[in-house]
Amino acid sequence: MKKGPQILFYVMLFILFISLFRMLSTPPSEQLDYSKFKSLVASKQVKDLVVTQDMIRGVLVDQSKPFRVVRVTDDDLVKNLEAAGVNYRGEISDNWLKDFVLIWILPIIVFLLIWSFIIRRMGGAGGPGEMFMSFGKSKAKLYAESDVKVSFNDVAGVEEAKEELIEIIDFLRYPDKFTKLGGRIPKGVLLVGPPGTGKTLLAKAVAGEAKVPFFSMSGSEFVEMFVGVGASRVRDLFQQAVQKAPCIIFIDELDALGRARGTGMAGGHEEREQTLNQLLAEMDGFDARKGVIIMAATNRPEVLDPALLRAGRFDRHVLVDRPNIKDREDILKIHARGVKLSTNVDLAILAARTVGFVGADLANMVNEAALLAARKNKTEVEMTDFEAAIDRIVAGLEKKRRVMNKKEKEIVAYHECGHTLTAELLPTTDPVHRVSIVQRGIAALGYTLQLPTEDRYLMTKSELQDKLCVMLGGRVAEEIVFNEISTGAQNDLQRAADIARSMVKEFGMTERFGPLTFEKERRPLFLDVGLTGGAKEYSEETARQIDEEVKRFINDAYGKVKEMLAANQDKLRTLAAALLEKETIEGEEIRKILGLPEKKREA
């Protein structure tokens, strides 16, 4: 809230009180009985009389002191005054102002005071002052240029996100350079990632790097009690921002506001929808060339209204992922800058011990360690303090989300390496771009990312069979190394079964059925989509045969992979050891570790 209007409000209140007080307190005059007054008139001891409908005021001659008398019905008053030769005048008593103040102003003031008291007690920042001065005005804090002191140096480990944001910074710094060439500048950038990975920090750093003002507001702040307030806040926010362009508008927790329309609980979503509609309208309405970039952050992109993600809105998505071991070390370095470390502290070891921690956890850990050391009156923070801090935070995290233990981590590493090695050994599969055992999202414990070397429109039977092999590779590796299988392969098996079923039913790739398809409608060749369950148009016997064929595809692939990985166990173990150490390995390095050549396809 701005300071100005608040002070103005209190000044007004003060003035009102003063005038009220003066009006209500009668001047200090002596009250006389009417009979006394009458005798004073007779003896000419009064002067300067003012006669109103119900009062007579005047001054006592000998004491030159004011007095007042309540009038009683006295038809002879004027006659008596004339007889005594006292100077007098009439006056219409004007009580309307007093009445007005008493009946209208005073109750309102009392009401406002009580209201402001209640709002304060409820923890709200505003009061009646704000109520009047800025009803519906956005609470967006304006971080003046010098206020944003965060730079990319304060954010570690999100290199890919930084790379994508550099373009935005460039644009904010030199908008002319871009607009001269007529290029379309992105309006909206959505930062997506788990909580605590530094999305808010990153948005601020962009403003800091570009040296532009930073308007920030949380999605939940837009959604208020009163219908229409959120929408007018959005309008106001954009108005303010356009005046300060180039600048950044940052909407934190976009999901609070941008949840898909029509899915909310009863009550309250009316307001949210209005606010969301206003946001969409504003985003479409303003000219990106003015240099206003809208950034938003969310950890639940799946609940967002699709309209928000359409072209011209938040069409650019930047993934802010969990840090891997190297990233964690870098983040620790940043947060240990202001901390006195003992020489026995090794940040690399700490990074290795904090699998699953995000930036916020690490910052928290450093702080916790410093507090622990201070409690023990140490002059430096030692390794033992950090270890105690880790234990404490892990205990907290294990309740909230899964942190893998050592054994699980090993299983996941071998599983992912199984996928990777299979993909690299087979001739037709896409090369592996990255393999990681850093958790991504809620379900996946690790991931193997393959990127095609070219656009594909068709897939051959042997390519599909190889794809099956890669999917089964994870489970096969677990079986070979641990002689045991885990639940981690469930998703792989599901996808493998889908592909095998499609090969049999849709693509007619079996010898038994020949070029026969059992699917009425042809689906696009997008194989990762689950099978659509339609009405069966074949006999039970055929269904059984289809199942057999599917099983055969899977079993053949499984046998092939098992043979292949068993023959390359040394490679599997080397890669898994490297992955356990580094947590994420990029494609080139994978091939270096495995001693395999770069994959190329002839055109």
CB of 535 to ligand ADP, least distance (A): 47
For helices 325-335 and 569-582, give the axis angle rounded to 10 degrees. 10
For the CB of residue 204, give the shortest distance to Mg ion in the complex, in Å.
10
- Binders of ligand ADP in range 117-156 (CB under 6 A): 155-156
Q: Alpha-carbon distance 198 to 194, whole Å?
A: 9
Summarize as ranges the residues that interact with Zn ion (CB under 5 A).
474, 492
Closest CA to 413 of 181, 583, 256: 583
Closest to 421 in 3D by CA, of 527, 573, 558, 600:
573
Which residues touch 374 (CB under 8 Å, ≥6 apart)? none
Helices (H), 262-358: 269-285, 325-335, 347-353
Active-site residue (options: 368, 416, 549, 583): 416
Q: How do beta strands 55-60 and 46-51 pair?
A: antiparallel
Separation CA 44–CA 187 (nearest Å) = 89
Least Å distance, CB 366 to ligand ADP, is 9
Which partner from the list Mg ion, Zn ion, ligand ADP, none does 473 bind, CB cut-off 5 to 8 Å by kind? none
Q: Dihedral angle at the C-alpha atoms of 514, 515, 519, 524, nearest 10 degrees?
A: 130
| Residue 149 or 461 with smaller CB distance to ligand ADP | 149
CB of 389 to ligand ADP, least distance (A): 15
200 touches Mg ion by CB under 5 A: yes
Residue 492 interacts with which of Mg ion, ligand ADP, Zn ion, none, CB < 5 to 8 Å by class:
Zn ion
Contact partner at residue 293 from Zn ion, ligand ADP, Mg ion, none, CB < 5 to 8 Å by partner kind: none
> How many other C-beta atoms are found inside a 10 Å radius of the C-beta of residue 502?
19
Residue choice 363, 393, 504, 585 for contact with ligand ADP (CB under 6 A): 363
The string over 225-258, giving b where at least 16 C-beta atoms fall within 10 Å of a residue's C-beta and e elsewhere, is eeeebbbbbbbbbbebbbebbbbbbbbbbbbbbb
| Residue 416 a catalytic site member | yes
For residues 284-313, which are near ligand ADP according to CB under 6 A?
297
Smaller CB separation from Zn ion, 321 or 492:
492
Length of the chain: 603
Q: Pick what 411 binds: Zn ion, Mg ion, ligand ADP, none; C-beta below 5 to 8 Å, kind-dependent.
A: none
DSSP classification of residue 101: I
**Phi and psi, residue 445, nearest 5°:** -85, -25
- Number of neighbours of residue 462 by Cβ within 10 angstroms: 11
CA atoms of 211 and 357, how far apart (whole Å)? 31
- Per CB under 6 A, the list member of 169, 201, 288, 445 interacting with ligand ADP is 201
- Supply the minimum distance, in Å, between the C-beta of residue 401 and Zn ion: 20
Dihedral, 293, 174, 150, 326 alpha carbons, nearest 10: 90
Q: Which amino acid is at 574?
A: T
In the complex with Mg ion, which residue's Cβ is closer, 52 or 218? Answer: 218
175 binds, among ligand ADP, Mg ion, Zn ion, none (CB under 5 to 8 A by kind): none
CB of 278 or CB of 422, closer to Zn ion? 422
Residue 438 binding target from Zn ion, Mg ion, ligand ADP, none, CB below 5 to 8 Å by type: none
Nearest residue (CB) to Zn ion, 271 versus 492: 492
Pick the piece of the chain touching Mg ion (CB under 5 A) from 150-158, 195-203, 358-366, 398-406: 195-203
* Closer residue to Mg ion in complex, CB, 19/367: 367
CA distance 224 to 128: 16
In the complex with ligand ADP, the residue whose CB is nearer, 194 or 246, is 194
Interface residue with ligand ADP, options 359, 431, 446, 474 (CB under 6 A):
359
Stretch that binds Mg ion, among 199-207, 256-264, 321-329, 450-458 (CB under 5 A): 199-207
CB 424 → ligand ADP: shortest distance, Å?
Answer: 31
Residues that bind Mg ion (CB under 5 A): 200
User: Catalytic residues, which ones?
Assistant: 416
Residues that bind ligand ADP (CB under 6 A): 155-158, 193, 195-201, 297, 331, 334, 359-360, 363
